[in-house]
């Protein structure tokens, strides 16, 4: 965890709202606060070495693995969003997406898959998928890749802003990547969700799966859609399912045509708190 990431994640929003005196106080103490928190930040874990001592994890279901590696995709997790020095030892309720992941992934466990993860954070979910989809390779992307606490020959960790179509094209589309599974769990902003799906759908292999977590955020949280733009990705997907016309300034005619000609099914499910979409390709 570098200083820039620490600042943007934990203090940038506070400084924006703070009075002048409070801003000065925070800025003076920030280097000391960073140093203390860095001491408590988890060390890098080499999963290739770790797996040899913990082979039992290859036999576990996804809910077990999500909780073991502290991902909020399962039933329970320890709050990983606090500052490292404020470790939370109380289990919180997770999104309970594991049931749906199992439904779509259970027949793929032993396949050699290429996976793209958008929004890796500390790598908790990537570590779980490392064991559940044991023969697969993962490209994990995040705006703050230095937060990632795992490494493996099967995992590539890169910096990517999913809200930038230029970066999506330069770092993914134009690199000729092809994926069996794409998991979008990044910023959840209206624009980000739409351009991620329609820009990257062409990189999905035949019979591939594109997953969007917290699909309903732009419809239920003002901070995810501050300008109250329409349509949201959820509304777009529902229009497509119902055979209705849709338009968005974030989707080109070429992208729309490609998606409509190549998607197979759109499934939207409700987790414990929010919705998740699984889109399969023909």
Every domain of the chain and the residues it spans: 3-40, 45-281
Q: Which residues, other chains included, contact 113 with Cβ-Cβ below 8 Å and sequence gap of 6+? A: 133, 135, 136, 137, 180, 181
Alpha carbon distance 157, 145 (integer Å):
7
51 class by beta-carbon count within 10 Å (0-12 exposed, 13-18 middle, 19+ buried): middle
Could you tell me which residues are beta bridge partners of residue 115?
138, 181
Alpha carbon distance 222, 219 (integer Å):
8
Q: Tell me which fold the domain 45-281 belongs to.
A: Rossmann fold (3.40.50)
Which of 176, 199, 207, 195 lies closest to 278 in space, CA to CA?
A: 207
User: pTM value?
Assistant: 0.94
- pLDDT digits (tens), the chain, 282 positions: 999 999 989 988 888 888 889 888 889 999 999 999 999 999 999 999 999 999 999 999 999 999 999 999 999 998 888 889 987 788 899 999 999 999 999 999 999 999 999 999 999 999 999 999 999 999 999 999 999 999 999 999 999 999 999 999 999 999 989 999 999 999 899 999 999 999 999 999 999 999 999 999 999 999 999 999 999 999 999 999 999 999 999 999 999 999 999 999 999 999 999 999 999 999
Which of 151, 86, 90, 159 lies closest to 118 in space, CA to CA?
A: 159
Q: Report CA-CA distances (Å) from 75 to 64, 68, 184, 272.
A: 9, 11, 19, 9
Alpha carbon distance 94, 77 (integer Å):
6
């Amino acid at each position: 965890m570098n200083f820039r990431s620490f600042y943007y994640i934990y203090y940038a929003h506070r400084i924006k709202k703070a009075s002048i005196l409070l801003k000065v106080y925070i800025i003076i103490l920030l280097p000391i606060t960073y140093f203390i928190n860095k001491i408590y930040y988890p060390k890098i874990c080499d999963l290739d070495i770790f797996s040899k001592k913990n082979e039992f994890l290859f036999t576990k279901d996804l809910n077990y693995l999500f909780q073991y590696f502290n991902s909020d995709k399962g039933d329970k997790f320890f709050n990983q969003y606090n500052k490292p020095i404020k470790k939370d030892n109380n289990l919180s309720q997770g999104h309970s997406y594991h049931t749906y992941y199992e439904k779509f992934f259970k027949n793929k466990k032993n396949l050699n898959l290429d996976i793209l993860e958008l929004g890796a954070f500390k790598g908790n979910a990537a570590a779980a998928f490392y064991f559940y989809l044991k023969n697969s390779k993962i490209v994990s992307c995040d705006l703050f890749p230095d937060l990632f606490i795992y490494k493996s020959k099967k995992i590539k960790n890169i910096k990517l802003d999913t809200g930038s179509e230029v970066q999506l094209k330069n770092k993914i589309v134009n690199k000729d990547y092809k994926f069996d599974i794409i998991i979008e769990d990044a910023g959840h902003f209206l624009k980000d969700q739409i351009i991620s799906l329609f820009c990257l759908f062409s990189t999905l292999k035949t019979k591939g799966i594109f997953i969007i977590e917290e699909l309903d955020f732009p419809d239920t949280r003002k901070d995810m859609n501050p300008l109250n733009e329409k349509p949201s990705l959820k509304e777009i997907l529902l229009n497509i399912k119902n055979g209705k016309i849709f338009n968005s300034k974030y989707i080109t005619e070429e992208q729309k045509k490609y998606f409509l000609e190549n998607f197979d099914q759109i499934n939207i499910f409700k987790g414990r708190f929010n919705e998740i979409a699984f889109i399969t390709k023909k």
